Amino acid sequence: MLAGPLLVYMLVFYAMPVVAMLLGSLNEPSWSFDRYAALPDDAVFLKVFWGTISTSLVVTLGCLILGYPVALALTRARSSAPLILIVILMPFWTSVLVRSYAWMVLLGRHGIINEALLALGLLENPIRLLNTTMATDLALIHILLPYMILPIANTLRQIDRSLERASSGLGATPLATFRQVTLPLSMPGVAAGVLLVFVSALGAYITPAMVGSSGDITLSILIEQQVEQLNWSYAATLSVVLLGTALALIGIGQFVPGVGSAFKMSK
């Protein structure tokens, strides 16, 4: 009985719209799987889909490279740990729209970066930084970085430090201890962070729409364009594909040892 209101809420505001979207991709104007069958031959869809996957991979790799050292520092630091945690969590206190607009200010033709390079004499004319693939990748890495740091930090915090001390006592160098002890034991957190960031980047809309290139759109932007053109059935089909891809990745991730618990704790 206590769970009843929550179940009704999820049914009305989540399950029913998803079912309606699925039905809309099949029954307009008649019941058919033709739209899904045509997707492998749809050049626009294939370009946008693989472009979205590519962007998600780059963003995930960038977050991993930047996030792992921060997570390690967070678990190793003592007095400065609260400060590091505040810096990590600060993006959550600001709207995604505001953060994306901040990147527009930084990367614009007359933005802070171009003006600084011109003032230093490193450029003669402003260069195009905004509305590029690089701008999308940078902004998404900044926005999604906490989703990589927190699961890794949580897993690192659970590693028994006596294992690292034992490794050092047996003559292993700090680098060897990290490579043979710390890194393998932290892989569930890494996998959970990769899953969170990749799925989030896969469905990102606001940031790519604001700072990305008009010729390099993501699947979410393509769906929005189809809605604007009142092409509801095609938009519903693309939405089901996007949702199915995300659910498939999450389902696969649950079979990786330790990822399920790390993923749930990070949420």
Q: Are 55 and 218 in contact (CB under 8 A)?
A: yes
The whole-angstrom separation of Cα 233 and Cα 215 is 23
For the whole model, what pTM was predicted?
Answer: 0.86
pLDDT in tens, 174-189: 899 998 999 999 998 9
Residue among 40, 246, 55, 34 at smallest CA distance from 134: 55
Looking at the domain that runs over 48-97+132-266, which CATH code has it been given?
A: 1.10.3720.10
What's the sign of the alpha-carbon dihedral 91, 93, 99, 105? negative
134, pLDDT greater than 80: yes
pLDDT band at 264 (very low <50, low <70, confident <90, very high): low
Per-residue pLDDT at 263 exceeds 80: no
pLDDT at residue number 208 = 92
Q: What is the pLDDT of residues 144-177, one digit of tens each?
A: 999 999 999 999 998 888 888 898 888 888 899 9
- Whole-number Cα distances in Å, 258 to 48, 193, 194, 254: 33, 12, 13, 8
Residue-level pLDDT at 200: 93
Distance CA 23, CA 35 (A): 12
Q: Which residues contact 123 (CB under 8 A, 6 or more apart)?
A: 114, 117
Q: Which residue has the tokens 């010729």?
A: 215
Which DSSP letter does residue 186 get?
Answer: T
Show the tokens assigned to 67.
Answer: 């996030």
* pLDDT above 90 coverage of the chain, percent: 40
Where do the domains of the chain lie? 48-97+132-266
Q: What is the pLDDT of residues 77-125, one digit of tens each?
A: 878 888 888 888 887 788 888 999 999 999 988 888 988 988 888 888 8
